[in-house]
């Protein structure tokens, strides 16, 4: 998506001529963030297609296999050599496959061939492969209770799949949420029929058959118990795709290392998006990727290009909220019904398929240390939870869940580094809305 | 007290509220013979006693039968006759004295001679294009038409534009792109309460056109919902069922985010899109690139509120989007309006009863003013100046060679910015750019560098005060003429009282200048005669007025264009209150989606200028204040400029209520008292733009232009704040 955005901006700046876009995926460029809606069957795959401006040459379904820096050309898997003056790596990230017993059938063949019924959830191809299997009554295990796992579980459940969400940590989305917020999220998922298991480490796949015919039958967890499944979706995070850069001798740590000009250590080669590491950070979120694409487009379109002497902007990093909107089936008309969490922690919904929506925002450090101040507003009857963590008069983290009316204020304060209001409780109060 | 009244319309905004004027009997002292009728008053004596000078010669009476306002008037309309009083207005021509440098009284002949000579000399020395004309959106159709004719046929200059460019040009451009026609509202105001949901974007009718507020009140009484999009909690926003408060300059992203939700929630009206539009896949892809969480990040509007707005808009059986200056006065105003139009088209909310997109035009004749030839690229009837057939038609009406008509010229700001350089002499009518133009200090400097400036105005405005010649002209109540209100309804203002003896009408001024420049004929002083010519010039054009007559306007409470002449054998065309119900005005009859993407404002806050400035109006003042600042009652209600800021921001910079605050942008510095309020975002300050001098908001504004409409970015720029020393 960083690459698509870059091309879009270059075109808007009148600088897209002479650009070649090499893309491994055969599909029109799409918005990856919307794949859970495709998987859930809420909309058709073409709905997630992104604009493809005129101007550049597009090589789709073509994989770049090598960068020939001496010759300034990219070598493709179809034998093409694409020469460049400037090269931008926007190779993104790929789903991490956890070290599960039985995951890889034949050792030593490079990319592991997964058993039938095992599929990550990252690309359109993943989505198109999973969707036809996601039928009512089908049993699925989603391995990983982070952002991606929660989205996958929600999407599958909305198709009537009986989902077990296995989270190794003590609560869902433990990188983003505190236990109380995670409990509300858990209650929401459970209300949709998802069985959430925390502290549950999946250590192996149960597989029948062999070779090409291997198919998954379930998972085995660390405590030795077994869960039958027709589908297993590993959702254990993503890893920057840096192989091309590393093989070309560019500096790679977690991601491809870039400076404030988004340049690698070869000044003709840039990297943006999930594959890039800037000031030690790999963002892995769409917002920063977009920021980087926008900035690089301005740099490349500047007089003399990014290496020119004109004033070109620098990238100083992005601070963004992690946002998650879990949307139900098509809402059509009528009011959405929110889940209400009862005092005992169980949750009920007002009816089947009412298309309730669950909104969540989180950022920074959400666990308050002993010296920190914590402001917290919790309304269990509405499934709403709001919290900020303050340290030395600064905002260091926060969670909004169920009631996002304050998200604008919080985002402004966090992203813009704005000073705190005299009464920090205003951080959690609303910005407009209903009369 | 008179019992005879004259039906007319308010001199101010685009509603053109109906009102009646009751001319006052002339004062007792020595003028007992003055009659009650308009004609009698027209013969009022030249010398009035001192006590009569300050008194308005007419008073306003309710006109409940006129449909737009049903008798209601705001404070501006009620007090409008005060500006007729001789105490506050110009009563005779002024010319700049070469010796003293002061403006001194002069005869009309001298003033017109000097004007004609000033314009002619510049044309001779620097070429015809070096003579500029700058008009106004408050001029009647007849004046706008003849001003355009004066520029193109007499001066033969391409250098003409008008302050309407600062008003609705972005909406006009987006209208043209999507629908093939530009009329502010495609339906009468009376349709608003019958709709199910109205989204008002960057519009504050509670302050800017109070008599229109009742339509939105009735909408809600009828069970409809009102959504207001405004960075500020305005008096209009207080009425809303849902108020979205985007960061200034992000309305475009907001509309794209709503369209995104329309798509992903399956709310697209596929049959309408397939049957009545073109270009949907590209527009959809553009919306796909603006997912809700991104839009939230850009706008600051929470996704749940965005969803709620979509639900209100789409669940209603019919719905409307109405924009005003908020989204339009941006360097991306055309695309912003386009994004809202796309939302209407995707949901089938256009070209259907009680649904559609509309623009709430600001100035009294913002609509008609742009249709009849003041705009840099247009000829009467909303014809394009670069269209050979249009040129031929209009040239024939004017009796000139089409080849002699100049081509399109510079847009308003570009014209003002060229003064003293490419354009060296200017004839300015009904506008006050010293107060109203963006980057006003720069524009003031450009105006000062002119070789020659003539200003026709009612009062000695800040701009007129800098002129070489000031031509005092008649006001709304003193002359007849037509206006086209925001609905596209052509209305008739009637003369109720006579202008003071030293004052002439704009038509007389143009007639006198044209005669001095070789056109003895072709510039009628009778408004109806001018309108008859306008009808012929507009015939067959997009804004066809040929079937409209003064008589029909009077009988029908206004006539909506297009209204072509049908010939004597046929029934007259009824006019067109509702557009697009069968087809859009494009060649294929389909509305066009235009794919648009969000982009930042030309100037975003940074470390040096960390706060947004947005500008707007207050209820008791109008535009540059040239008229309303001369009315005591209005000044009492709104005495001067102010800086509205959030308590958090006030605390940060250390100012209390009423303290003077210095607001500085890259273009200049303005100082006005702090007005501390939670109604404005903590990252934004608001200033009304009605005043000159130290508190002039437009000293600060950014003249970055929209690439299509050439609209300046009045509504968003970056400033810094600090306490100012008390004067």
Model confidence pLDDT, tens digit, residues B79-111: 999 999 999 999 999 999 999 999 999 999 999
User: H or E stretch including A228?
Assistant: strand A226-228
Q: Find where tokens 């950014």 sit.
A: B702
Considering only the beta carbons, identify the residue of B266, B302, B682 that sits closest to A330. B266
| Residue of chain A whose alpha carbon sits nearest to that of B651 | A422
Q: Is the pLDDT of residue B426 over 90?
A: yes
pLDDT at B43: 43
Q: Helix %, strand %, coil % for chain A, to 5?
A: 25, 30, 50
DSSP state of B445: H
Q: A66 with A75: CB under 8 angstroms?
A: yes
Considering only the beta carbons, identify the residue of B302, B311, B683 that sits closest to A404. B302
CA-to-CA distance for B195 and B457, rounded, in angstroms?
A: 41
**What distance in Å separates residue B260's CA from the closest CA in chain A?**
10
Interface of B with A (CB under 8 A): 233, 237-245, 263-266, 282, 284-286, 288-289, 291-294, 296-297, 299-305, 307, 311, 315, 595, 597, 599, 648, 651-652, 681-683
| 3-class SS of residue B392 | helix
Q: A223 with A191: CB under 8 angstroms?
A: no
| Chain B residues with beta carbon closer than 8 angstroms to that of A53 | none
**What distance in Å separates residue B201's CA from the closest CA in chain A?**
15
Considering only the beta carbons, identify the residue of A325, A421, A434 that sits closest to B292. A325
Q: A416 with A316: CB under 8 angstroms?
A: no
**Whether ipTM exceeds 0.85:** yes
Interface check A386 vs B, CB under 8 A: no
Considering only the beta carbons, identify the residue of B243, B288, B302 that sits closest to A49. B288
Binary contact (B291, A31; C-beta < 8 A): yes
Binary contact (A435, B238; C-beta < 8 A): yes
Q: How does strand B94-96 pair with strand B469-472?
A: antiparallel
Q: Is the pLDDT of residue B34 over 50?
A: no
| 3-class SS of residue B556 | helix
Average pLDDT score over residue span B650-668 = 97
Binary contact (A50, B293; C-beta < 8 A): no
Q: How does strand B425-429 pair with strand B383-384?
A: unpaired
Q: B301 with A408: CB under 8 angstroms?
A: yes
Tens digits of residue pLDDT in B229-255: 999 999 999 999 999 999 999 999 999
Binding-face residues of A in 42-101 toward B, CB within 8 A: 42-43, 47-52
**What distance in Å separates residue A294's CA from the closest CA in chain B?**
10
| Chain B residues with beta carbon closer than 8 angstroms to that of A47 | 263-264, 284, 288
Binary contact (A404, B304; C-beta < 8 A): yes
DSSP state of A281: B
| Chain A residues with beta carbon closer than 8 angstroms to that of B266 | 42-43, 330, 332
Torsion of CA B26, B30, B35, B40, to 10 degrees: -90
Considering only the beta carbons, identify the residue of A286, A321, A435 that sits closest to B241. A435
Q: How does strand A139-143 pair with strand A231-234?
A: parallel
Within 10 angstroms of residue A425's Cβ, the number of other Cβ atoms is: 10
Average pLDDT score over residue span B130-149 = 97
CA-to-CA distance for B665 and B669, rounded, in angstroms?
A: 6
CA-to-CA distance for B629 and B87, rounded, in angstroms?
A: 13
Residue B211, phi then psi, degrees to nearest 5: -65, -15
| Residue of chain A whose alpha carbon sits nearest to that of B239 | A435
pLDDT at B75: 95
pLDDT at A350: 34
**What distance in Å separates residue A1's CA from the closest CA in chain B?**
9
Interface check A412 vs B, CB under 8 A: yes
pLDDT at A236: 94
Q: Find where tokens 């002949």 sit.
A: B109
Within 10 angstroms of residue B100's Cβ, the number of other Cβ atoms is: 8
**How many C-alpha atoms does B498 have within 13 Å on its Cβ side?**
18
Interface check A117 vs B, CB under 8 A: no
| Chain B residues with beta carbon closer than 8 angstroms to that of A4 | 289
Tens digits of residue pLDDT in B613-647: 999 999 999 999 999 999 999 999 999 999 999 99
Within 10 angstroms of residue A73's Cβ, the number of other Cβ atoms is: 16
Within 10 angstroms of residue A220's Cβ, the number of other Cβ atoms is: 17
> What are the C-alpha distances in Å from A393 to residues A390, A414, A422, A424, B551?
6, 13, 10, 9, 72
**How many C-alpha atoms does B556 have within 13 Å on its Cβ side?**
21
Report the side by side order of strands in the sheet with A226-228.
A202-208, A215-221, A226-228
| Residue of chain B whose alpha carbon sits nearest to that of A43 | B264
> What are the C-alpha distances in Å from B386 to residues B128, B165, B172, B173, B209?
19, 19, 17, 16, 36
| 3-class SS of residue B372 | coil
| Residue of chain A whose alpha carbon sits nearest to that of B296 | A408
Write the burial class of residue A40 (CB in 10 Å: 0-12 exposed, 13-18 middle, 19+ buried). buried
User: H or E stretch including A358?
Assistant: strand A357-364
Binary contact (A42, B651; C-beta < 8 A): no
Average pLDDT score over residue span B214-229 = 98
- Give bridge partners of residue B475 from the DSSP assignment: none
Interface check A433 vs B, CB under 8 A: yes
CA-to-CA distance for B332 and B711, rounded, in angstroms?
A: 9
pLDDT at A354: 36
| Chain A residues with beta carbon closer than 8 angstroms to that of B244 | 432
Of B285, B299, B649, which to mutate for an interface test with A (greatest number of A Cβ within 10 Å)? Answer: B285
Contacts for B146 with CB less than 8 Å, ≥ 6 apart: B506, B507, B510, B523, B524, B530
> What are the C-alpha distances in Å from B49 to residues A142, B39, B581?
93, 21, 58
Q: Find where tokens 């066009």 sit.
A: B592
Mark the ranges of chain A whose per-residue pLDDT is less than 70.
105-112, 304-311, 328-355, 430-435
CA-to-CA distance for B79 and B73, rounded, in angstroms?
A: 10
Band (pLDDT 50/70/90 cuts) for residue B55 is confident
Assign 3-class secondary structure to B680-709: CCCCEEEEECCCCHHHCHHHCCEEEECCCC
Q: Find where tokens 């009468």 sit.
A: B188
Mean pLDDT computed over every residue of chain B = 94
User: H or E stretch including B305?
Assistant: helix B303-315
| Chain A residues with beta carbon closer than 8 angstroms to that of B311 | 331, 335-336
Tens digits of residue pLDDT in A157-204: 999 999 999 999 999 999 999 999 999 999 999 999 999 999 999 999
Of A297, A408, A425, which to mutate for an interface test with B (greatest number of B Cβ within 10 Å)? Answer: A408
**What distance in Å separates residue B197's CA from the closest CA in chain A?**
14
Give the residue among B486, B199, B405 at the shortest CA–CA distance from B320: B199
DSSP annotation string for B393-429: HHHHHHTS-GGGS------HHHHHHTBTTTB-EEEEE
CA-to-CA distance for B677 and B657, rounded, in angstroms?
A: 9
CA-to-CA distance for B153 and B400, rounded, in angstroms?
A: 7
CA-to-CA distance for B306 and A323, rounded, in angstroms?
A: 15
Average pLDDT score over residue span B499-512 = 97
Interface check A283 vs B, CB under 8 A: no
Q: What percent of chain B has pLDDT over 70?
A: 95
DSSP state of B155: I
Band (pLDDT 50/70/90 cuts) for residue B37 is very low
Q: Find where tokens 């924009």 sit.
A: B323
| 3-class SS of residue B383 | strand
CA-to-CA distance for A247 and B333, rounded, in angstroms?
A: 47
Interface check A407 vs B, CB under 8 A: yes
Considering only the beta carbons, identify the residue of B294, B299, B303 that sits closest to A287. B294
> What are the C-alpha distances in Å from B266 to residues A28, A252, A325, B434?
21, 43, 17, 50
pLDDT at B348: 98
Angle at B549 between CA B546 and CA B551, to 5 degrees: 165
Q: A306 with A86: CB under 8 angstroms?
A: yes
Binary contact (B293, A323; C-beta < 8 A): yes
Average pLDDT score over residue span B447-466 = 98
Q: Find where tokens 């605390």 sit.
A: B651
Q: Is the pLDDT of residue B173 over 60?
A: yes
| Residue of chain A whose alpha carbon sits nearest to that of B246 | A408
Binary contact (A404, B240; C-beta < 8 A): no
| Chain B residues with beta carbon closer than 8 angstroms to that of A290 | 294
Q: How does strand A87-89 pair with strand A269-271?
A: parallel
> What are the C-alpha distances in Å from A212 to residues A113, B243, B353?
8, 58, 61
Contacts for B84 with CB less than 8 Å, ≥ 6 apart: B56, B57, B58, B475, B477, B478, B497
Give the residue among B310, B363, B348, B447 at the shortest CA–CA distance from B137: B363
pLDDT at B67: 95
């Amino acid at each position: 998506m960083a690459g698509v955005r870059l091309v879009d901006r270059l075109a808007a700046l009148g600088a897209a001529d002479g650009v070649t876009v090499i893309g491994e995926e055969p599909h029109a460029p799409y918005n990856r963030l919307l794949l859970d809606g495709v998987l859930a069957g809420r909309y058709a795959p073409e709905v997630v297609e992104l604009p493809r401006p005129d101007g550049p040459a597009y090589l789709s379904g073509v994989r770049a296999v090598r960068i020939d820096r001496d010759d300034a050309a990219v070598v493709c898997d179809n034998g093409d050599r694409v020469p460049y003056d400037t090269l931008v790596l926007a190779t993104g990230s790929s789903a991490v496959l956890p070290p599960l017993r039985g995951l890889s059938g034949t050792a030593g063949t490079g990319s592991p061939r997964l058993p039938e019924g095992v599929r990550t959830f990252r690309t359109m191809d993943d989505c198109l492969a999973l969707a036809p299997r996601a039928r009512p009554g089908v049993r699925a295990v989603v391995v990983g209770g982070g952002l991606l796992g929660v989205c996958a579980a929600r999407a599958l459940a909305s198709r009537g799949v009986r989902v077990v969400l296995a989270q190794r940590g003590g609560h869902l989305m433990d990188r983003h949420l505190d236990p109380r917020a995670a409990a509300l999220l858990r209650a929401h998922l459970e209300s949709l029929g998802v069985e959430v298991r925390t502290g549950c480490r999946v250590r192996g796949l149960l597989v029948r058959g062999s070779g090409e015919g291997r198919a998954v039958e379930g998972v085995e967890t660390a405590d030795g118990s077994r869960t039958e499944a027709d589908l297993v979706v590993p959702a254990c995070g993503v890893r920057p795709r840096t192989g091309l850069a590393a093989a070309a001798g560019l500096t790679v740590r977690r991601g491809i290392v870039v400076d404030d000009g988004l340049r690698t250590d070869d000044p003709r080669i840039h990297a943006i998006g999930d594959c890039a590491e800037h000031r030690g950070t790999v963002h892995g979120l769409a917002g920063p990727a977009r920021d980087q694409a926008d900035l690089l487009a301005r740099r490349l379109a500047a007089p003399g290009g990014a290496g020119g002497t004109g004033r070109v902007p620098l990238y100083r990093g992005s601070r963004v909220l992690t946002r998650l909107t879990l949307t139900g089936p098509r809402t059509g008309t009528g009011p959405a019904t929110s889940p209400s969490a009862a005092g005992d922690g169980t949750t009920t919904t007002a009816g089947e398929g009412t298309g309730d929506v669950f909104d969540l925002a989180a950022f920074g450090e959400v666990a308050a240390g002993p010296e920190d101040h914590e402001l917290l507003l919790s309304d269990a009857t509405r499934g709403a939870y709001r919290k900020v963590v303050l340290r030395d008069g600064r905002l260091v983290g926060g969670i909004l869940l169920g009631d996002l009316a304050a998200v604008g204020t919080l985002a402004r304060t966090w992203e813009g580094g704005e000073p705190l209001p005299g009464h920090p409780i205003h951080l959690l109060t609303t910005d407009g809305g209903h009369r | 007290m008179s019992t005879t009244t004259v039906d007319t319309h308010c001199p101010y905004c685009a509603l053109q509220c109906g009102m009646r004027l009751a001319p006052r009997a002339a004062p007792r002292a020595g003028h007992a013979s003055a009659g009650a009728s308009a004609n009698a008053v027209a013969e009022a004596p030249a010398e009035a006693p001192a006590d009569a000078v300050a008194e308005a010669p007419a008073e306003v009476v309710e006109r409940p039968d006129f449909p737009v306002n049903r008798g209601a008037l705001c404070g501006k309309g009620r007090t409008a006759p005060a500006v007729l009083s001789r105490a506050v207005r110009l009563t005779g021509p002024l010319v700049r004295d070469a010796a003293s440098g002061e403006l001194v009284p002069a005869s009309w002949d001298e003033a017109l001679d000097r004007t004609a000579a000033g314009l002619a000399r510049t044309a001779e020395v620097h070429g015809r294009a070096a003579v500029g004309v700058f008009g106004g959106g408050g001029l009647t159709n007849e004046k706008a038409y003849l001003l355009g004719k004066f520029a193109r046929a007499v001066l033969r200059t391409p250098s003409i534009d008008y302050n309407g460019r600062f008003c609705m040009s972005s909406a006009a451009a987006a209208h043209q792109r999507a629908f093939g026609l530009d009329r502010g509202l495609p339906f009468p105001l009376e349709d608003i309460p019958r709709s199910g949901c109205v989204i008002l974007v960057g519009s504050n009718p509670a302050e800017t056109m109070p008599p229109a507020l009742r339509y939105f009140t009735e909408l809600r009484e009828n069970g409809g919902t009102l959504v207001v999009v405004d960075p500020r909690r305005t008096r209009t926003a207080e009425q809303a069922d849902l108020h979205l408060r985007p960061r200034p300059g992000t309305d475009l992203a907001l509309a794209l985010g709503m369209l995104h939700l329309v798509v992903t929630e399956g709310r697209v009206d596929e049959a309408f899109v397939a049957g009545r539009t073109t270009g949907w896949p590209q527009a959809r892809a553009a919306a796909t690139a603006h997912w809700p969480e991104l839009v939230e990040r850009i706008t600051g509007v929470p996704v749940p509120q965005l969803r709620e707005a979509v639900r209100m808009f789409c669940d209603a059986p019919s719905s409307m989007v109405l924009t005003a200056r908020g989204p339009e006065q941006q360097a991306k105003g055309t695309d912003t309006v386009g994004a809202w139009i796309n939302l209407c088209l995707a949901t089938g909310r256009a070209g259907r009863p009680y649904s559609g997109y509309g623009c709430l035009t600001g100035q009294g004749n913002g609509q008609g003013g742009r249709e009849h030839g003041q705009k840099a690229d247009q000829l009467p009837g909303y014809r394009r100046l670069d269209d050979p057939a249009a040129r031929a038609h209009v040239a024939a009406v004017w009796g000139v060679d089409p080849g002699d008509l100049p081509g399109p010229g510079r847009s308003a700001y570009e014209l003002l910015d060229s003064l003293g350089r490419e354009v060296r002499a200017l004839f300015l009518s009904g506008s006050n750019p010293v107060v109203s133009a963006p980057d006003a200090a720069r524009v003031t400097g450009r105006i000062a560098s002119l070789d020659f400036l003539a200003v026709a105005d009612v009062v000695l405005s800040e701009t007129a005060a800098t002129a070489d010649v000031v031509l005092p002209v008649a006001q709304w109540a003193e002359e007849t003429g037509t206006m086209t209100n925001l609905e596209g309804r052509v209305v008739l203002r009637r003369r109720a009282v006579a202008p003071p003896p030293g004052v002439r009408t704009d038509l007389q001024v143009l007639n006198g200048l044209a005669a001095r420049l070789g056109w003895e004929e072709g510039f009628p002083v009778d408004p109806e005669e001018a309108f008859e010519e306008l009808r012929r010039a507009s015939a067959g054009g997009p804004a066809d007025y040929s079937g409209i007559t003064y008589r029909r306007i009077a009988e029908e409470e206004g006539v909506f264009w297009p209204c072509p002449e049908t010939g004597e054998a046929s029934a007259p065309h009824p006019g067109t209150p509702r557009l697009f119900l069968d087809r859009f005005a494009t060649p294929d009859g389909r509305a066009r989606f235009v794919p648009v993407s969000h982009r930042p404002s030309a100037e975003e806050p940074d470390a040096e200028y960390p706060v947004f400035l947005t500008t707007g109006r207050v209820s008791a003042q109008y535009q540059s204040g040239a008229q309303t600042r001369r009315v005591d009652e209005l000044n009492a209600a709104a005495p001067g400029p102010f800086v509205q800021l959030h308590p958090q921001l006030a605390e940060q910079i250390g100012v209390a209520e009423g303290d003077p605050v210095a607001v500085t942008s890259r273009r200049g510095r303005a100082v006005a008292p702090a007005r501390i309020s939670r109604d404005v975002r903590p990252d934004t300050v608001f200033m009304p733009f009605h005043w000159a001098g130290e508190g002039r908001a437009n000293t600060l504004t950014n003249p970055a232009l929209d690439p299509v409409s050439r609209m300046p970015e009045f509504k968003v720029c970056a400033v810094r704040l600090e306490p100012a020393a008390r004067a």
